Structure 1
Amino acid sequence: MAPVTDMKCACDSCLCVVSTDKAVMKDGKYYCSDACANGHPNGTGCGHQGCECHA
């Protein structure tokens, strides 16, 4: 079985899929950006095209 290299961002409202070697890790979960990993301070989104997460 091949190792998993791509995962959905752990942020519930985020649609991004992130490579595990490029992800921001926090509390054992993979996130696509610092904004998602830190709970979207000030309502900022991840900034990736087509994704509108911010909660």
Structure 2
Amino acid sequence: MASVNVEMVKCACEDCVCVVPVAKAVSRDGKAFCCDECAEGHPHQAGCDHAGCTCHG
């Protein structure tokens, strides 16, 4: 069976549309996020500040 090397993942924040390299993802509870704000569940209702993304938790 061939192995698959996944290099890019979608941010685990439901509202987020960002896709990040696995190596640069913020890991929390086994999930990959694009930034600390998404990983922390948007405690300040701030977005991830990535172009085209409107997530705020």
Give me the TM-score of the superposition, normalised by structure 1: 0.94
Corresponding residue number in structure 2 for 1:36: 38
Number of equivalent positions: 55
5 Å-filtered alignment, 1:1-55, equals 1-55=3-57
CA RMSD of aligned residues (A): 0.8
Larger Rg: 2
Point out 4+ residue stretches in structure 1 off by more than 2 angstroms.
none
Give me the TM-score of the superposition, normalised by structure 2: 0.91
Could you list the runs of 5+ residues in structure 2 that have no partner in the other structure? Answer: none
CA distance in 1, matches of 2:8, 2:44: 28
SS of match in other structure, 1:51: coil
Structure 1 position 2, deviation (Å): 3.1
Structure 1 position 10, deviation (Å): 0.2
